[in-house]
Structure 1
Amino acid sequence: MARSKEFEDNEVLEKAMKLFWEQGYEKTSISDLVEHMGIHRRSLYDTFGDKHTLFLKALDRFHDKLCDGLVGEVKRSKTATEALQLIFSSVICSVNDSPSGCLMVNSAVELAMRDTEVDKKTTDLFSLSEQLFKDIIQWGQQSGEFSAEYSAEDQAEHLHAIYVGIRVMRRTSIRKEKLQHMADVSIKLLSK
């Protein structure tokens, strides 16, 4: 008779995601995952497949959570400027139990050049993030908050590069105040 599962898939996937986020793919062993997730090795393989498949599922979970969070920041905003400020502040001043930086950015740096599946997932998320910035900038241009001297697409590409850079620097000892200043200047450059 088969044993019933003694864990909830999303809860243990969340634990795997955070471990990969903190340590990276290469440094995280199956033993680390089993211990951190609190499940048996056989259960890991039966439920999630091998380490690489689990990692891809963790990237998908991160993608969904990040998109929900970014869209939530925008929906709560009264102005385009406020939307951008909230997005950058959520990265710079995160106080939850998540590791610093960004799992997608970290994964792109670590694996994208040699893993086509990771490359696709990271570039897809980057495209979505850039599109969100474009939508916010268009909102700001229509409301008169932002200059239309450059296209929303060009400005979104630039702002997204700043956003990714700040996510990388968030993993270092650079002061949050400096990161916030970089974000503030980048947003101010959009103004008329």
Structure 2
Amino acid sequence: MARSREFEINEVLEKAMMLFWKQGYEKTSMNDLVEHMGIHRRSLYDTFGDKHSLFLQAMDRYIGKVETTLNSQAKQARTATEALRSVFGFMIAESEHSPSGCMIVNAMTELAARDAEINVKSLCSVASTEELFERIIVWGQREGEFSSDCEPKETAEYLQALSVGIRAMGRTAIDKEKLVRVMNSATRFLTK
């Protein structure tokens, strides 16, 4: 008879996600994962597969959480400007309450050039954020908040590149006020 699981999958996956986010893929050993997740090595393999498979599942969990938060914040905003500030504000503040930077940006810089699966997941996450920015830009143009001179798709790509920079800079000891100034400049760019 098979033993019943002695752990909740989402709880231990969350622990793995946090460890990968903090240390990166290469610096995280299977021993680190077993210890941090609080499960037996055999249970880890039986439930999640190998380290690479677990990392991909941790990425999916992170992407789902971030996309839900960003979309929720944008929907709760009263104006497109407020939505844009809220999205960027989350990106800036995220590193204050969790491991530094963005797990996806970290994975892109560490692994995407040599790992096709991670590259695809990273690019899908980037595309999702670009779509959110594009919706906010169209909303702002429709309401007269943002200049109609900005092409929404191209401007969304620019904002996404800016957000990657902000999140990469979040891994450093950079003053958060500087990141806020960058956000403010991006908002002013749209309103000209």
TM-score (norm 2): 0.97
SS of aligned partner of 2:191: coil
**Structural mapping, 1:84-103, within 5 Å:** 84-94=84-94, 97-103=97-103
Match of 2:77 in 1: 77
Matched residue of 1:189: which SS? helix
Whether 1:162 and 2:158 are equivalent positions in the alignment is no
Report the structure, 1 or 2, having the larger helix content: 2
Q: Deviations over 1:38-74 (max 9, x none)?
A: 1000000000000000000001101110110111111
Q: CA deviation at 1:154?
A: 1.3
User: Which amino acid is the alignment partner of residue 26 of structure 2?
Assistant: E
1:48-127 to 2 correspondences below 5 Å: 48-94=48-94, 97-127=97-127
Whichever residue aligns with residue 127 of structure 1, its letter is: A
Query: How many Å separate the matches in 2 of 1:179 and 1:36?
Result: 32
Aligned length: 192
1:142 corresponds in structure 2 to: 142
Structure 2's unaligned 5+ residue stretches are none
Give the equivalent residue in structure 1 for 2:35: 35
Question: Where does the alignment leave 5 or more consecutive residues of structure 1 unmatched?
Answer: none
Q: Tell me the equivalent position of 1:13.
A: 13
Mapped partners of 2:49, 2:113: distance in 1: 23
Q: Separation in 1 of the partners of 2:56 and 2:89?
A: 27
Matched residue type, 2:74: V
Q: Distance in 1 between matches of 2:48 and 2:40?
A: 12
**Displacement of 1:94:** 3.0
In 2 relative to 1, CA 17–182 (structure 1 residues): closer, same or farther, beyond 3 Å? same
CA distance in 2, matches of 1:88, 1:127: 16
Question: Which amino acid in 2 is paired with 1:66?
Answer: V
Q: C-alpha separation between the residues in 2 aligned to 1:180 and 1:4?
A: 49
How far is the alpha carbon of 1:80 from its aligned partner?
Answer: 0.4
Aligned CA distance change for structure 1 residues 91 and 185 (closer, same or farther; 3 Å)? same
- What secondary structure sits across from 2:190 in the alignment? coil
Question: TM-score, length-normalised on structure 1?
Answer: 0.97
Percent pairwise identity: 56
